[in-house]
Amino acid sequence: MTPMIDVVFLLLIFFVCASIGQIPESTLPTPLAAGSIEAADPIEAPKPLGEVWIRLARRGAGEGAVTTAEINNQLYEDWGRLRGTLRELASVAPEIPVILDIGKSVPVGDFVDIFDTCRSAGFDDIQFATDSQPPA
């Protein structure tokens, strides 16, 4: 039995060591509205006070390009301030729908960051804006 136990322990140590270096991936849940996009009616009674439009755009070119954010047409260059504003908004009225209008060239890292900020701030309804699709 002794050599077998040796081998089993060696294998156990191998798998433990192999799994240490791996960072487990998590999932950021992004529930979407079902059905036809054009038919989706996101606003139901009682009607919320308004909407929060967050527009993300990419300005500049090459290495110097930065992602800018606007909340209801007000430009936020400091993302720390943007996060603070979103948290304050969510603490006052989490039922307000947040609509993310993301520019085509915005990197995934930036819009996932903003989406996560909205989610962790406590907004109930976060939507992605899209251009109207031509009928099929």
Partner 1 sequence: MKAPSMTRSRSVSFNVTSLIDIVFLLIIFFLVASHVVRSEAVEPVDLPKISDPAGDEEESALRIVVTVMADRSMWVGGREVLLPQVEQLILSASQESLNQVEVRIRADHAATYLEIEPILLACAQFGVTRVGFAVLPKSS
Q: Does 36 bind partner 1 (CB under 8 A)?
A: yes
Contact (CB, 8 A) for 58 and 105: yes
The residue among 31 and 46 lying less far from partner 1, judged by its C-beta, is 31
Shortest Cβ 49–partner 1 spacing (Å): 26
The residue within the footprint of partner 1, chosen from 32, 45, 49, 92 (CB under 8 A), is 32
Give the closest residue to 123 by CA, choosing from 51, 66, 75, 69: 51
Residue linked to tokens 């007000």: 74
The residue count of the chain comes to 136
Give the Cα separation of 4 and 105 in Å (integer).
57
How many residues touch partner 1 (CB under 8 A)?
40
Site string for partner 1, 87-106 (x = CB under 8 A): ---------------xxxxx
Q: Does 61 bind partner 1 (CB under 8 A)?
A: no
Q: What angle do CA 38, 42, 47 make, to 5 degrees?
A: 140
Q: E strand or H helix at 15, and its extent?
A: helix 2-20
Q: Which stretch binds partner 1 (CB under 8 A): 30-38, 46-54, 71-79, 90-98?
A: 30-38
Shortest Cβ 24–partner 1 spacing (Å): 8
Give the Cα separation of 8 and 23 in Å (integer).
25
Interface with partner 1 (CB under 8 A): 1, 4, 7-8, 11, 15, 18, 23-37, 40, 102-109, 111-113, 115-116, 120, 128, 130, 133
